[in-house]
A and B are shown apart, each in its own frame.
Chain A
């Protein structure tokens, strides 16, 4: 087990470094002139050159990377070109708001998705399975932003049940806070739910078809026990990997959903910074979002190692 942990940690560190290099290189390949952007109407060849020197753009790339990376690690994310304020506080605020969406969605998706998948597998061929199939088909066939619009149409415009945009602080009251969250979370959850349900279903079916389940039945164990203790335990192990993968889709979904609902989160900030070519903001947002994804994968890998007896207890006995 320790070997596994060491290996995973090593892999994550390697990936984070490689990823930061990629982000840096890609954003510095911007054809547009960052200095010209900042200076706006004051841009002349001399002022541009001066600003470029000040920003360190004339130094060799590896040196620039090194400066940039060490600053990042210390928490200094630079100055937003557009807003002319430090990036870090803005980013973390937005991050917090996105985190609320993300956590709520993952919570619903994990519990509901696994449950639906298991039910569909246990009652395979009968109506719960068919219902789940139809649901998953529609869920995966349309992107989140579309569902978002449909929800806005239904709940926001037509029936005026829920606010269709924006965000309310907790300090403004629990009701307001929650009501602004319902639609975005529902939208995010819908697509992911379909994915998780489908994969859990097939993983559970594989467990139910396995030899050890047949043997358990041949020992006269009641079906409920067979499903819950024998099959489920094995079926859930791969589900962890699925949920980790879904976290990646979640991050993508957040970008779209926050745009649709004008929710002031990190995704919307990222889109804005891309549109306006705000380099530091862009780099920071991508780095943070990708970093979170890496950590989520690491957590999933470690959890997988704990839950899977083959990894947790290696070696042989007797």
Chain B
């Protein structure tokens, strides 16, 4: 199957003018908008995220404060925008880390087989034996938290699933004879991995990466919510929801607004992932 997935090239879209699935277009647009918003957050936000307007505390959403104000009088909407930076950076960094470590591991395990493969798989098994949150808590609890540490912890957690997926796609590709043909030319390891295998693994990895970004954003939110992520007064969405807990009866928007922002982000990224999957393997869409 991996060989079949790999047959699709970008040129195909242009040449055959295949229609991109709706999920990809919609999701892609929203994600693009989010990225732009996050990048320009400092300039778009009406107020600095930590500026307290003591007289305007607990204001419901209105024209001055689009999402209301929190218990310190800070503008929730501005904090949402800044928070989007944190979430997206966290998602992207964690995923990049996990791919930087997981993809080579998976490629080597799948290509080399034998003892190398066994050893790598055992290590991955141990990592996968932990319920996801345990591993991260273990790492974070023993060191002072920060955004980078959280990203690294989540990244480390995601190494095992990425390595596994890479390995299984690599195994699939290894049964293709073009690999043997390359060996019959006496190609070296780095050529095999980089030029023969990796280009064929990319499509599946793209889909997997979108899943990992979603996972990272959500897990990051849980960690901040529990107090193990970024620390106050940062405008992290999970932290905002946690702060707003105490006021959920009187000022629900403090918690609800970040939740809505998070759900839009996550749904958009999921749509992109689904769209990619549909493009690569139309059967799965269920048409």
Direct contact of A and B (CB under 8 A): yes
Q: Flag if A256 contacts B226 (CB, 8 Å).
A: yes
Q: Flag if A286 contacts B255 (CB, 8 Å).
A: no
Q: Flag if A248 contacts B225 (CB, 8 Å).
A: no
Q: Flag if B222 contacts A256 (CB, 8 Å).
A: yes
Q: B100-130 vs A: 1/0 string, CB under 8 Å?
A: 0000000000000000000000100110011
A31, A141, A251, A260: the one contacting B245 at CB < 8 Å is A260
Roughly how many angstroms separate A31 CA and B142 CA in the complex, as a whole number?
7
Residues on B with beta carbons closer than 8 Å to the beta carbon of A15: 125-126, 129
Enumerate A178-233 residues with CB–CB distance to B below 8 Å. Answer: 202, 205, 209
Q: Chain A interface mostly helix, strand, loop or mixed?
A: helix
Q: Flag if A251 contacts B255 (CB, 8 Å).
A: no
Does A145 lie at the interface of the complex (its beta carbon under 8 Å from any beta carbon of B)?
yes
- Residues of A in contact (CB 8 Å), total 54
Roughly how many angstroms separate A124 CA and B287 CA in the complex, as a whole number?
8
- Residues of B in contact (CB 8 Å), total 42
Q: Flag if A251 contacts B262 (CB, 8 Å).
A: no
B134, B214, B225: the one contacting A286 at CB < 8 Å is B134
Residues on B with beta carbons closer than 8 Å to the beta carbon of A137: 267, 270
Q: If the complex has contacts A255-B133, A290-B129, are A145 and B222 also in contact, measured as CB distance less than 8 A?
A: yes
Does A61 lie at the interface of the complex (its beta carbon under 8 Å from any beta carbon of B)?
no
Residues on A with beta carbons closer than 8 Å to the beta carbon of B134: 251-252, 286, 289-290, 293
Q: Flag if B222 contacts A22 (CB, 8 Å).
A: no
Does A299 lie at the interface of the complex (its beta carbon under 8 Å from any beta carbon of B)?
no
Q: Flag if B255 contacts A149 (CB, 8 Å).
A: yes
Q: Flag if B241 contacts A149 (CB, 8 Å).
A: yes
Enumerate B139-158 residues with CB–CB distance to A below 8 Å. Answer: 139, 141-143
Q: Could you write out 13 A-B pairs with CB less than 8 Å apart?
A: A16-B129, A19-B130, A23-B138, A27-B142, A29-B142, A121-B286, A141-B266, A142-B259, A153-B249, A248-B131, A290-B129, A290-B130, A293-B129
Q: A26-B138, A205-B286 are in contact. List 18 more A-B contacts (CB 8 A).
A: A16-B129, A18-B129, A19-B126, A29-B142, A125-B287, A145-B222, A145-B225, A146-B241, A150-B259, A247-B131, A248-B130, A249-B131, A249-B132, A252-B222, A256-B226, A259-B226, A290-B129, A297-B129
